[in-house]
Structure 1
């Protein structure tokens, strides 16, 4: 059980596996106004930066679940490094269908809504772990502006134009599910650059260290195409944000 290898190579130096900077992640944690001791479930927790930094800064605790053994190990090491291993734990498991043993104050899926087959299914899954009055966090892409063609949409790594909504339509869709949007923090071009561009140096150094690896051809192809693709497509067309929801 693992994610595609290109991600564990290209994002091996990332602490945050989405277009958020540490500052934006801290802004989101503060914006939720949670009491110390609140419990968070993070499905698709990656290298654990959200749980670990929030445990350090806001006194929260919780569990992260991710199907990458590489990222799960990084999360455990991060918890040790920040001195919060007594408050947060990380489980290598498939987050799809995962329900916490005890209900939590915040149930999050920040950038991995495929675990529930999309936003609607993921909200339904998270709700099973949430206490009454708790907060769901959804991280999801949206179109900054509608791409003029399917080719441009695919340049943004979407399968089609219909994969994402515009920001107003995405926000409205939560209301149609009977949830209030109570907070949101959005990525910007700088945070997108930090997420995407940091991969390029990582891949270049990996190629230098592993020239004979069977996977080197795929890493080289990704490094060759990624900078132009980001400059041409992602920066202009694709947004990303985390939305805090409470059931009506």
Structure 2
């Protein structure tokens, strides 16, 4: 049980596996008015930067769960680096079935709603771990602009236009399934660039070091296409944000 190697190659040096930078992640933590001793569950926690940095800055405790062995190891190392290893723990496992043994104050899934089969299913999964009145964090892409053709949809790594909401539709969807949206922080084109462009450097360095690897041809083709694809399509049409919800 693990992530595909292609993903871990692209994001091998990432601490944040989504289009947020450190400033936006800190802004989100500040917006939540986190208090010392609050407990958090982070499903698909990646390299643990959100949980570790918030444990340092806000003195919360919590658990992260992720399917990647490489990223789980990085998360544990980051916890030690920030001196929060006594406050947070990281589990290598399938987040799609993980429910906390005790209710948490904050339950999050940032950029991986596939674990619940989509937004609604992931919200239902998080709800099972969240105390009444707790905060739920959903990180999700949306259409910044309606894609005009199939080429744009494909270049944004979507199967169809219907795979994503536009921003108003996503917010309305939260309301329809019984949640108030009480905060949000959105990525911008610069933070998208930082996320995407760092993948290109990671990939190039991996290719230089592994020219005979079975994935080399695939990763070379991806690197050749990725910068222009990002500039023409992804940064123009894809939005992304973290939406903070409370059950009505």
SS of residue in 1 equivalent to 2:73: helix
Per the alignment, residue 106 of structure 1 pairs with: 106
Q: Distance in 2 between matches of 1:231 and 1:24?
A: 22
3-state SS of paired residue (2:131): strand
Cα distance in 2 between the residues matched to 1:169 and 1:133: 24
Partner residue of 2:53? 53
List runs of 5+ in structure 1 lacking aligned partners: none
Structure 1 residues 67-86: aligned runs within 5 Å: 67-86=67-86
Q: Tell me the CA shift for residue 40 of structure 1.
A: 0.6
Q: What is the CA-CA distance between 1:154 and the residue it aligns to?
A: 1.1
Distance 2:132 2:26 in 1: 25
Question: Residues 140-196 of structure 1: CA distance to partner in whole angstroms, max 9, x if unpaired?
Answer: 000001001122111111111000011111011101011000000000000000000
Equivalent in the alignment of 2:237: 237
Aligned position for 2:214: 214
CA distance in 2 between counterparts of 1:217 and 1:88 reads 39
Per-residue CA deviations over 1:191-245 (Å, capped at 9, x if unaligned) read 0000000011111111111111111111111111111110110111000000000
Q: Which moved more, 1:139-148 or 1:207-216?
A: 207-216
Q: State the aligned residue count.
A: 248
1:121 aligns with 121
1:90 alignment partner, SS class: strand
TM-score by length of 2: 0.99
Unpaired runs of at least 5, structure 2:
none
Query: After TM superposition, which residue ranges in structure 1, 4 or more long, deviate above 2 angstroms?
Result: none
1:38 equivalent to 2:38? Answer yes
Q: Does 1:136 align with 2:136?
A: yes
Give the match for residue 64 of structure 1: 64
Distance, in Å, in 2 between the alignment partners of 1:211 and 1:145 is 38
Secondary structure at the aligned position of 2:35 is classed as coil
Q: Deviations over 1:41-100 (max 9, x none)?
A: 000000000000000111111000000000000000000000000000000000012101
Correspondence for 1:159? 159
